[in-house]
Structure 1
């Protein structure tokens, strides 16, 4: 009876969304790669994979938009996703990028201080154009946003431009060297504190990480 109960529609459903359990024995399925399976938790239920969690994260952002944003706000959001699409960012990646940049998806970079807001196309375009002015191509911007989506929510004047000046004047990093640095470590654009060895508990935004 127990063996039959395991082959339930519920288990079949889990398998369709990337959730599964170990087979009763490896020998019973010699061609199965065990790494493709997720072990059962202490209660006997399957664990949710990282992929499934990420999908939930993205869907939850869409649900927030549908439930909270006004018609006008949705238009603003859509115009920003189109601006990212123009540089080759997929719609799914654009939703995630904007969500993290403007507080719709939690980001360790902001901690708990970032309030949810709807992005404005003027702000997004200003930052994208500024980064292009530093020698970054559309392909470069896609890579940079993947590593540091929060850059779109940073202050252009007080963070991006200020930090580029610091990199140029204090470190002598400019031109091609600056481009290479930003592709390698784009979070340098968002550093806005320097603990100088005396931790201020803002490590994700501190020059000590540079």
Structure 2
């Protein structure tokens, strides 16, 4: 009897500890989620506790697995590119590799910039296209000519990967000219601005207070 009582107490304590640790870790991962309450007392048998814990665990493991599959699905279509398109994509990867981006990081940048993965910046306007090496290289070269180092470009692309998909002439160059003409921002001041708010390079509308529902690309944010 004493042995059974001790074993029951130990299992109760172990289950409670595992659950506490599990949901504590989950809380740290998703701090905005409402805390889950799991009432464990000596009235619940060890088997019941174990079943409850397994059910809770399976739900979150399943959710995590679904999220992973969804993320993978965004890049699966890239693997199905035809030979010529694959060469174009690889040339863009090569351009980004000079900034020390891994293949996986380069794919994320290109996917967000050219409509292969959803980006709130574009909304619904971005049409999927295969990136061209000359376009990506042209954007990087132009930004280097503005005084940005490769380390600067790495930081800028981490913040704003969509810049690779912006028009060099109609957006980047025009916006840099506007910054200098309207606010006198150039040189080191321009470099500091672009590192702080690189999305200014892609602004293409100015609602002037009359909302056009394109807030992510509007000069009103500047």
1:30 shift after superposition: 9.7
Between Structure 1 and Structure 2, the one with more helix by share is 2
Helix, strand or coil for the counterpart of 2:73? helix
1:91 shift after superposition: 1.5
> Which residue does 1:35 correspond to in 2?
24
Measured against aligned partners, the alpha-carbon deviations of 1:10-39 in whole angstroms (never above 9, x if no partner) come to xxxxxxxxxxxxx952xx249937431267
Q: How many residues are aligned here?
A: 181
> Which residue does 1:180 correspond to in 2?
192
**Residues 84 and 77 from structure 1, CA distance in 2 versus in 1: closer, same or farther, beyond 3 angstroms?**
same
Displaced runs of 4 or more, over 6 A: none
**Residues 91 and 75 from structure 1, CA distance in 2 versus in 1: closer, same or farther, beyond 3 angstroms?**
same
**Residues 31 and 201 from structure 1, CA distance in 2 versus in 1: closer, same or farther, beyond 3 angstroms?**
closer
Q: In 1, are the aligned partners of 2:75 and 2:111 still within 8 Å (CA)?
A: no
Q: Which consecutive residues of structure 2, in runs of 5 or more, have no partner in the other structure?
A: 1-13, 28-34, 37-54
Q: Which consecutive residues of structure 1, in runs of 5 or more, have no partner in the other structure?
A: 1-22
Out of 54, 60, 66, which is 1:46 matched to?
60
Helix, strand or coil for the counterpart of 2:200? helix
Measured against aligned partners, the alpha-carbon deviations of 1:121-140 in whole angstroms (never above 9, x if no partner) come to 01000000000000101111
1:31-180 to 2 correspondences below 5 Å? 32=21, 34-37=23-26, 45-46=59-60, 48-49=63-64, 53=67, 56=69, 58-67=71-80, 69-180=81-192
> Which residue does 1:191 correspond to in 2?
203
Q: Distance in 1 between matches of 2:141 and 2:155?
A: 15
**Residues 197 and 80 from structure 1, CA distance in 2 versus in 1: closer, same or farther, beyond 3 angstroms?**
same
Q: Distance in 2 between matches of 1:174 and 1:120?
A: 29
**Residues 57 and 121 from structure 1, CA distance in 2 versus in 1: closer, same or farther, beyond 3 angstroms?**
farther
TM-score, length-scaled by structure 1: 0.78
Helix, strand or coil for the counterpart of 2:117? coil
Q: Distance in 2 between matches of 1:92 and 1:31?
A: 35
